[in-house]
């Protein structure tokens, strides 16, 4: 499947694994904006997208039928909607169990960056950052490729054998220290597999910069397609929608070149650590806590929980008293960041579900909630709020209906 959009000029390629809504609302948007502003004398970059599992086949097929072109709808907390036609995806790879197309694309010398969006659980790391040999991973250790490690091992092995040169492996997800921890997980995977030659090639020919990514992107509902058609006249079968806010902070550690991301608002830094800590411990932790608490009181959407007085106060107090003291000093205005986060979560037009955000809760807790300074706040708040977060996560993961939310019980 190919978009047919190419200008005939050879392009540097980014292969993205995990071509879901978030990628299309975030990284693909950045590259689209960059290509729109590109001068003739500047390098051209394009996106090739594919998946390692078959659960997104319908989206890939719809995207391929539209030559990789789709509509992005964004909405502000005030309800202002905007529509943009995104054209950065030039090749859509069909999924097959063998991953032949994905492996071939990743082994092409034109491919300079392989990026991927993986859930926290998809890295198979335990609380000590050791590789957890779950059944899927055990299969891949024997030569399979159903996980990010198995798929990348196949791609890098083909790349090594083809002499295709160095490549940057770019994480685009919410895992804390994602580049560093992915590198450790991949190294452990190759060691367990006994792939010594490939492990050495991996160390010598790849870079794994950490990054943080941010744009609330719910799963598209049928009304997104209806609004897109009404606004643009285009019956887009695979539109995507998200909030107007967007952020991307990337460590400046690329081994085979990169697009000029700074030109379109991405931040290139020596270390993402202070930005990452603020994002994960203020935004992601609060997002999850609101979803868990909202689920317990029978709410369906994030904005409903954010506008619930008890839940909002709980989230505000947690960030103010438990998190901000841990992150100070910071290059960010943390109080302002907290307020912007709550404003974004209160956006009623996003219609982001508690079910989506609360999913995979146990794997999120070590990174989102657990890291706190022992002297961050009073002993009472240290006991109450983190335990309350844990309880919300545990109960909401199994709640079949309305339950009592621990945030309703005030303590002195």
Q: What is the pLDDT of residue 38?
A: 95
The answer on pLDDT for 329 being more than 60 is yes
Structural domain 12-269, CATH architecture: 3-Layer(aba) Sandwich (3.40)
The answer on pLDDT for 412 being more than 50 is no
CB atoms within 10 A of CB 403: 15
Query: Is there a contact between 182 and 169 (Cβ–Cβ < 8 Å)?
Result: yes
* Global confidence as pTM: 0.85
The residues pairing with 169 across neighbouring beta strands, listed in sequence order, are 114
Helix or strand or coil: residue 29? helix
The Cα-based distances of 57 to 243, 297, 360 in angstroms read: 25, 35, 22
What digits encode the pLDDT tens for the residues 287-320?
988 999 999 999 999 999 999 999 999 999 999 9
Cα–Cα distance for residue pair 18/118, rounded to 1 Å: 7
Helix (H) or strand (E) holding 207: strand 206-207
What digits encode the pLDDT tens for the residues 114-157?
999 998 889 999 878 889 888 889 999 999 999 999 999 999 99
Arithmetic mean of pLDDT, 19-23: 94
| Cα angle 290-120-370, degrees, rounded to a multiple of 5 | 55
The answer on pLDDT for 68 being more than 60 is yes
Residue ranges matching CATH 1.10.1040.10 in the chain: 273-408
What digits encode the pLDDT tens for the residues 247-273?
999 999 999 999 999 999 999 999 999
Query: Is there a contact between 323 and 282 (Cβ–Cβ < 8 Å)?
Result: yes
| Cα angle 31-303-249, degrees, rounded to a multiple of 5 | 30
Place 408 in a pLDDT band, splitting at 50, 70 and 90: low
Q: What is the pLDDT of residue 174?
A: 85
Which of 16, 7, 93 is closest to 44 using CA atoms?
Answer: 7
What digits encode the pLDDT tens for the residues 156-184?
999 999 999 999 999 999 888 999 999 99
Cα–Cα distance for residue pair 236/224, rounded to 1 Å: 9
Arithmetic mean of pLDDT, 196-221: 96
Helix or strand or coil: residue 56? helix
Burial level of 274, CB count in 10 A (0-12/13-18/19+)? middle
Cα–Cα distance for residue pair 195/123, rounded to 1 Å: 19
DSSP string of 259-326, one letter each residue: --GGGGT-EEES--HHHHHHIIIIIIHHHHHHHHHHHHTT--BHHHHHTSHHHHHHHHHIIIIIIHHH
- % of the chain surpassing 70 pLDDT: 85
Across 66-177, the runs of DSSP E, i.e. the strands, are 70-75, 81-86, 89-92, 111-116, 167-171
Residue ranges matching CATH 3.40.50.720 in the chain: 12-269
Q: Which fold has domain 273-408?
A: 1.10.1040
Place 401 in a pLDDT band, splitting at 50, 70 and 90: very low
């Amino acid at each position: 499947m190919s978009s047919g959009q190419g200008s005939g000029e050879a392009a540097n390629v980014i292969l993205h694994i995990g071509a879901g809504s978030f990628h299309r609302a975030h990284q693909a948007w950045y590259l689209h904006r960059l290509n729109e502003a590109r001068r003739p004398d500047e390098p051209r970059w394009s996106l090739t997208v594919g998946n390692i599992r078959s659960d997104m086949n319908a989206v890939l097929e719809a995207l391929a039928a539209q030559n990789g072109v789709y509509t992005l709808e964004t909405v502000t907390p005030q309800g202002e909607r905007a529509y943009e036609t995104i054209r950065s995806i030039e090749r859509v790879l069909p999924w097959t169990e063998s991953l032949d197309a994905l492996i071939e694309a990743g082994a092409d010398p034109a491919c300079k960056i392989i990026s991927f969006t993986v859930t926290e659980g998809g890295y198979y790391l335990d609380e000590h950052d050791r590789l957890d040999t779950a059944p899927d991973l055990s299969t891949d250790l024997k030569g399979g490729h159903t996980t990010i490690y198995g798929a990348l091992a196949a791609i890098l092995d083909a790349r090594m054998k083809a002499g295709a040169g160095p490549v940057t492996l770019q994480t685009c997800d919410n895992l804390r220290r994602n580049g560093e921890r992915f590198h450790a997980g991949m190294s452990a995977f190759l060691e367990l597999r006994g792939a010594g030659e490939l492990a050495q090639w991996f160390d010598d020919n790849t870079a794994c910069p950490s990054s943080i990514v941010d744009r609330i992107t719910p799963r598209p509902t049928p009304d997104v397609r209806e609004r897109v058609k009404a606004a643009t006249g285009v019956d887009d079968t695979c539109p995507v929608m998200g909030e107007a806010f967007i952020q991307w902070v990337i460590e400046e550690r690329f081994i085979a070149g990169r697009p000029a991301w700074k030109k379109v608002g991405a931040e290139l830094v020596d270390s993402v650590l202070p930005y990452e800590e603020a994002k994960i411990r203020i935004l992601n932790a609060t997002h999850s806590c609101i979803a868990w608490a909202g689920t317990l009181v029978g709410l369906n959407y994030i904005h409903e929980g954010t506008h619930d007085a008890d839940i909002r106060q709980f989230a505000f107090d947690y960030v103010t008293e438990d998190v901000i003291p841990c992150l100070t000093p910071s290059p960010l205005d943390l109080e302002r960041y907290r307020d912007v986060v709550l404003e974004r979560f209160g956006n009623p037009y996003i219609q982001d579900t508690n079910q989506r955000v609360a999913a995979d809760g146990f794997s999120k807790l070590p990174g989102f909630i657990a890291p706190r300074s022992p002297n961050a706040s009073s002993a009472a708040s240290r006991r109450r709020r983190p335990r309350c977060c844990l309880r919300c996560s545990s109960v909401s993961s199994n709640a079949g209906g309305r339950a009592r939310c621990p945030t309703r019980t005030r303590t002195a």
